[in-house]
Amino acid sequence: MPPSSEAASERSRTHGALASVSRVHILDLLRGSGTPLDVAQIAVRTALHPNTVRFHLKVLVDAGLACCRTDSPRASGRPRFIYTATTDGASSHPEGFQLLADILASYLAASSTIPTGLAEEAGRAFARRHRQPSPPFAGGSADEAIRQVVAMFAELGFQPELSEGGSHHRILLHACPFRAVASKHPDVVCAVHLGLLRQTLANLDIPIEATALEPFVTPHLCIAHLAAASSSSTESPLS
């Protein structure tokens, strides 16, 4: 399999694993726990049946997002399997990357008369470059595609939550991985995220558009608004 196909296949597995709110919740528990957790502990904390927890854990392990090992052997009885996240959710954005993001956002904000438009186009360009050759939900329903977008935000570390209300959908983003930079330069950082969201929806070829991204509705919450697309919704802000 060519490297690009391998990368697309890996992204597909990751997106599929994170397309479930329950699995995202379980992964957040593993990332936030100071010690490994077993099925019973996760079941109590998520109010899910142990068999359901086992199913979700297998998907996370198969996607490389969690790992499983046997606890220290006990005198009798079946071995206890314990689980940990493969990353803590914060190590993927170390201080060096935050510093680089701050430098670039500061420069763009100060050197351009249209920093928001340029930043949104940068997000769109990234989504176009990383478009999967065969999107897993191509030809599927709008709901399936929206779950794909939620999975993308989960993979990036936003801890998203889908809130539905008729024809209007909201994606609640509970944790921005670039919050420190975004709080200083929302016109740049939030515009990049909006461009990424808009082009990802366009890549999935569904009649849904991102109408707005509200930054810092509360100190730890941003909201992306989705609605039925208009005929010109896929145009770049710089076109």
Residue 3 has pLDDT above 50, yes or no: no
Question: Are 118 and 38 in a shared domain?
Answer: no
Domain shared by 151 and 186, yes or no:
yes
Residue 234 has pLDDT above 60, yes or no: no
The domain that holds 38 is classified in CATH as: 1.10.10.10
Q: How confident is the model at residue 37 (pLDDT cuts 50, 70, 90)?
A: very high
CATH number of the domain enclosing 125 = 3.30.1380.20
- Least confident range of 78-82, 133-137, 142-146, 166-170: 133-137
Residue 62 shares a structural domain with residue 117:
no
pTM score over 0.85: no
**144 in a structural domain:** yes
Do residues 35 and 150 share a domain?
A: no
Q: Output the six-digit token pair for 46.
A: 């998520």
Q: Examine the domain organization and report whether 108 and 217 are in the same domain.
A: yes
Same domain, 217 and 103: yes
- Among 85, 105, 129, residue at a domain's last position: 85
Domain count, the chain: 2
Asked if 81 and 99 sit in the same domain, the reply is: no
pLDDT of residue 137: 46
| Inside any domain, residue 238 | no
Residues 62 and 111 in one domain: no
By percentage, how much of the chain surpasses pLDDT 90?
38
80 with 177, same domain: the answer is: no
Averaged pLDDT, 63-86 = 82
Domain shared by 35 and 76, yes or no: yes
d(CA 159, CA 26): 12
Give a yes or no: residue 151 inside a domain: yes
For 150-205, what is each residue's pLDDT tens digit?
888 887 878 888 887 767 889 999 888 888 899 999 999 999 999 999 999 998 88
Does 235 map to a domain?
no
Q: What percent of the chain has pLDDT over 70?
A: 79
Which residues span the domain enclosing 64?
Answer: 3-85
Q: Same domain for 48 and 122?
A: no
The pLDDT value given to residue 77: 64
Mean pLDDT of the chain: 82
The residue from 85, 104, 127 where one domain ends is 85
Same domain, 142 and 60: no
234 in any annotated domain: no
